[in-house]
Amino acid sequence: MTKLLLTISFLLTIGCQTGIFIKESPAALTDIRKAIVTVIGQPKKTSEDGRELISEFHNKRGQVDPSLAKAKNRFYTRVSILGERRPYDIKIEVFQEARIVDQQYEIITEEIGLAQKLAHQIETTLNESLKDRNVIDDFRAF
């Protein structure tokens, strides 16, 4: 009986994973944060450790618009940097909210297509920042 419960809980845990992942990014934590801010703009909220960033409200194209704070439908992006040290995994989730009563909103769906687009932009920005690094030549130090 316990094996059955463990199997069911394991399957539920795996089945609940959402979002798009960028696996094993070799970039430093500060570089990852800079790339995320470049793509999603200044975050509305950041966790205490700086590993989870939540964007301002935006439209379906990813364009931030302050008027969307009171719109009937709106989107926001949550980006999480996972792992204790390099290489980091980056999780991108985009949620659509709908106003149900007055100023109360409820998440109605996760927008996988937009999350994929943002993940590609973040990955491209990270790769460009890694190319621009000034690497010291070991053989000609001076």
CATH of the domain at 75: 3.30.530
How many domains does the chain divide into? Answer: 1
Q: What integer is the mean pLDDT of 99-126? A: 93
Q: Which domain holds residue 25?
A: 19-130
Query: Does residue 7 belong to any structural domain of this protein?
Result: no
What confidence tier does 81 reach under pLDDT thresholds 50, 70, 90? very high
Least confident residue range of 3-12, 42-51, 102-111: 3-12
Residue 95 near residue 107 (C-beta atoms within 8 A): yes
